Structure 1
């Protein structure tokens, strides 16, 4: 009996302890720190001071920073670096701003676009990444002898192109680099996208250009990732890249359009959209498309005669199908045939443009309308279109009570208008229907007039009159193109008397790229007229010969 009592006593203790153990797994009611310490002290004497007097360990703070030497200053602008010590090596730093190559598995970060460029009067349009890497590493290829870059860009590009050769890579400061853009040296440069200016020609890399309308930084060979690396939590953030499509506007500017004579005849045979077949993509891929249509639409326009001898022009109203097909947004009215079929035809023409929501300028319902700058804002880029006709005929000019083109007069009014819109934050795009000739070079008077418009604040001055393309240059940060040539006009074999007028088939279409309310690039598209109506993109050989001729002629007009 006694032994059984002992066993029962032990079993009771086990049951009691088991019950205590299970209870300990339940969430206890909150206890005050003092009570908690007293309980624990009973179990483990001497722990009360540790519990009641211990404070949490502070979170580690970022105190040191390393910046990759290739990170451009524009990326660092706006970062709060106060209180941080800059370290010479990455291993010493709590936080690192590093460069990474875009690849699968690479951490996300800020994507920074770099641009391959050459002096503006460069004929080559692009290189493969392999060719660029060969030049970078010491082998002169593709007609280029060297790559000129800043020290920061050299450091950044080492990740993509390898270590730069001291033979073919030249390090200069930013000011020296800009001075090389208008030169005939066979050189290349690489720039951060934000440093691009129109005096540089953007070259494609593996067929891709950062000024393409469908450009994507993720698929471009000269894009880098800038990333923040740290094992310590931090609040620093890099800017969200240097390319944003919602800040870009592409404008294409064109030369003479006259849907009459043989051009209209070919439209009659092949359909109204026939002339635009081969260049439609160029035109419609732009955000804004300019057409200088010199001929009015007339309800009584006769059937087209390709051998018409007089210079009284009109277009039947259905010919506007072509302008719709190529994505017209902006119509210039400086042409000197606008009243060939009288006031009624001019009024009808303006009505047709207004019905389609197109912006017209440099002509209008009356003189006030014709001289009014037309303002367009797209993606934050403020553009103002204004133009005039300095040569007449005076019968074509708008008056206080008659529609027509805007007369330039002594240029006083247009100089004031340019300065006014520029002061309002708009970029003036100015076009003139200047005196016609068949040479590639401008007259002294033309040069003086274009420069005066640039001095007033124009960022682009174009000659819309030229039936043969003319040279282009830069002056006071403005792009001056003295004549683009024809767009849709039938001049394939032109004679004045017995004198042949060459090069009327050659055409420029100027593709202007604006970004963050600045003109950043000019791309010269080139076409060749076929079938008295249809421009097509030039072949590589045609383009090289054409640009070589124009660029050589332009050298005498550089400032």
Structure 2
């Protein structure tokens, strides 16, 4: 508690006595409130996010001087910070230019503490595992036990890694961290050590999040979720400000110190092959148009931007679907577009091999349907120029440029010309400098391609060459839309590459079951959820899917995901290293060597 900067006046009259009595009443009331407040947490578990009583303005004197004039100072304000505010947050306040620190609370124009008042600091911390981890959530009680007592064997992690600044914050909150369970490391080494310490987790401020971390929900509150309730989240440090009565200061939104603002966060869902034909369409006719999305609709619809790679045109004269259709010329009935509506489609990729199957009229009709829905489209269009041109989307201040094409060596799939509609053939001599230009202009570039189809996790040389050069040009995300068998990922230090996500809605489940030697894993796929904050790419969550028939995927169970991803990581790279070496624990065994 800070020392009051107000000097009491001698009680030389009845007004002085009255002032003393009022002060006594206020003090007794405060003690009563404090007592009630402490009884609301019978187990005594301290939380970082504190519910403070609503501040009440109490006059310094019962008979204020009617001739007193309030002082309205200009920033930077002379600021006293209480002992509960970590030094690194005090430094951040000073960096803002609005506050000048003082050790004397008597002369301060603003006082910052956890006493009641308007909020001035909100500093959110996240619990993170390495990207490859299968852990999704933890309990704050386990974190607290680790910090205070060293924890027990039942904890879902081996230790907690923190930087010195983060340790300072939680030492002030929970007391000194237990040396057996809390390990302090250099901030610049935190991510690397976390990847090596396979079963550890890290605590770090949200503004330090990067793609190598997997952000965990804490007490079921997930900072990356649209349903996130920050008031219920236990890892937020909050501090308030008080203004002595002789000053008039009201801090604006720009003067608050905040490291997490949900209005700056965007999620983008990228998907693989959609082809509403053959047995997929037959099942839709039998069980309902929305049947394929029954288990994944919420995942896609909750993303801020949802991408669908629909390879097949809609056609007014499309015949009734046949499960055993032999021809590879495809079309979809118009009413199947309801499925794309249901999953929250925002942007459609038209680079698919089968977009031209039903001729120019069907392609133009499909484009008209997308226009009617208000959806953006790219990678194909009414002309080659339309298809190659980037498409722009903005959300929460994050500016995206989607760009795509058909990169198969056989150009018969890409029918777009200067006069004809269709998928756009890749022109890398134009596309690469265009990506660099867009990046230099501040856009987050997401590049997707139809490329060569490979029935294995690993990428072939041509895929690696083309995908990597788009990443090197500046694309933050490079994603393959063509694969029916899910393929590997690769992180280059600045770009996330996924060579192929597999099918979203397409009837290849039966191939994996009846001819597994040639088509294993065609009953599995991914949705990639990419996250961006304040113009920066901060991470990706892979959502592995398991098909239950020729139309409907569902999220994998924990057991299915564990088996599938362990194999998948054998073919995936992170900054040049095989991810499997970390996820298997092999690298952790070599830490001291």
TM-score of the alignment, normalized to the shorter chain, above 0.5: yes
Instruction: Give the counterpart of 1:430 among 447, 450, 464.
Output: 447
SS of residue matched to 1:494: helix
Note the 1:43-192 alignment, pairs <5 A: 65-66=81-82, 68-69=85-86, 71-72=88-89, 73-82=91-100, 84-86=101-103, 97-98=112-113, 108-137=119-148, 138-139=150-151, 142=155, 144-158=157-171, 161-180=174-193, 182-183=195-196, 185-192=198-205
Establish whether residue 241 from structure 1 lines up as the match of residue 258 from structure 2.
Answer: yes
RMSD value, Cα: 2.9
Contact 2:485–2:522 (Cα < 8 Å) also in 1 = yes
Query: For each residue in 1:390-414, what CA deviation from the matched residue of structure 2 results, as whole angstroms up to 9, or x when unmatched?
Result: 11542232111111112114x1111
Matching of residue 402 in structure 1 with residue 420 in structure 2 = yes
Q: Which residue number in structure 2 is paired with residue 446 of structure 1?
A: 463
- 1:352: how far off? 0.9
CA pair 203-497 structure 1, distance change in 2 beyond 3 A: closer
Take 2:187 and 2:279, find their aligned partners in 1: how far apart are those partners? 52
User: Contact 2:194 / 2:200 at 8 angstroms: preserved in 1?
Assistant: no
Question: Which segment is superposed worse, 516-525 or 332-341?
Answer: 516-525
Alignment of 1:251-400 (within 5 A): 251-391=268-408, 393-397=410-414, 398-400=416-418
Instruction: Give the number of aligned pairs.
Output: 497
- Relative distance call for 1:312 and 1:63 in structure 2 (3 A) is closer
1:302 shift after superposition: 1.6
The Cα shift of 1:464 comes to 0.9
Structure 2 unaligned runs (5+)? 1-66, 578-593
Deviation digits for residues 266-321 of structure 1 (CA, Å, limit 9, x no counterpart):
00101111111211111111111100011111222221111122322111111111
Shift of residue 96, structure 1, vs aligned partner: 5.2
Max radius of gyration: which structure?
1
2:117–2:241 Cα contact (<8 Å) kept: no
Match of 2:523 in 1: 505
CA distance in 2, matches of 1:548, 1:305: 37
1:343 CA drift (Å): 1.3
Aligned to 2:212: 199
8 Å contact kept, 1:99–1:156: no
Quote the offset at 1:367 in angstroms: 0.7
CA shift digits 1:35-60 (9 cap, x unpaired): xxxxxxxxxxxxxxxxxxxx999989
Q: Quick one: which of 479, 489, 506 aligns to 2:506?
A: 489
Which of 536, 539, 552 is the aligned partner of 1:518? 536
Q: Distance in 2 between matches of 1:146 and 1:232?
A: 47
Residue in structure 1 matched with residue 479 of structure 2 by the alignment: 462
- Bigger mean CA offset, 260-269 vs 389-398: 389-398
Q: 1:167 to 1:206 in 2, by over 3 A?
A: same
Superposed displacement of residue 79, structure 1: 3.9
Cα pair 2:392 2:402 within 8 Å, conserved: yes
TM normalised by structure 2 equals: 0.77
Deviation of 1:546 after TM superposition, in Å, equals 2.4
Instruction: Give ranges in structure 1 of 5+ residues lacking alignment.
Output: 1-54
**Matches of 1:201 and 1:401 in 2, distance apart?**
47
The secondary structure found in structure 2 opposite 1:348 is helix
TM-fit CA distance, 1:160: 5.1
| CA 1:206–1:552: 2 relative to 1, 3 Å | farther
For residue 493 of structure 1, report the CA deviation from its aligned partner.
2.7
Judged with a 3 Å threshold, the aligned counterparts in structure 2 of structure 1 residues 501 and 530 are, in CA distance, closer, same or farther, namely same
Superimposed CA distance per residue, residues 108-158 of structure 1 (whole angstroms, 9 cap, x where no aligned partner): 553322111111111111111122223334236545322221111112223
**TM-score (normalised: structure 1):** 0.82
> Does structure 2 conserve the Cα–Cα contact (< 8 Å) formed by 1:455 and 1:476?
no
